[in-house]
Amino acid sequence: MWNAILYLWVLNGLTVALFAWDKLSARWNRGRVPEHLLLWLSALGGSPAALLSRWLFRHKTRKQPFGRWLWSIVLFQITALVILLGKDLL
């Protein structure tokens, strides 16, 4: 249990850091963080941080392919969580 909590903390921290780095890189016209990496981090459990970072840094909010993929990941994760928790409740 504690390993899972530590994993999620580290992954979400990394996700916030990479969103912040990508925002700064965009302002400074430097190398960017690939969108597929940000989406993979979200899919691996960093979706709360990705949603928070989009709002906090106002970053990737108008990029529609990215936004649709991110929300698809979030909806899939919520559905999976409800199914898993539902089985435990029965």
| pLDDT tens digits, one per residue of 46-90 | 999 999 999 998 877 777 898 999 999 999 999 999 998 887 665
Nearest to 74 by CA among 45, 53, 52: 45
Average pLDDT of every residue of the chain: 91
Contact yes or no for 30/19 (Cβ under 8 A)? no
**Cα–Cα separations (whole angstroms), residue 69 to 49, 62, 66:** 15, 13, 5
Output the pTM of the full model: 0.85
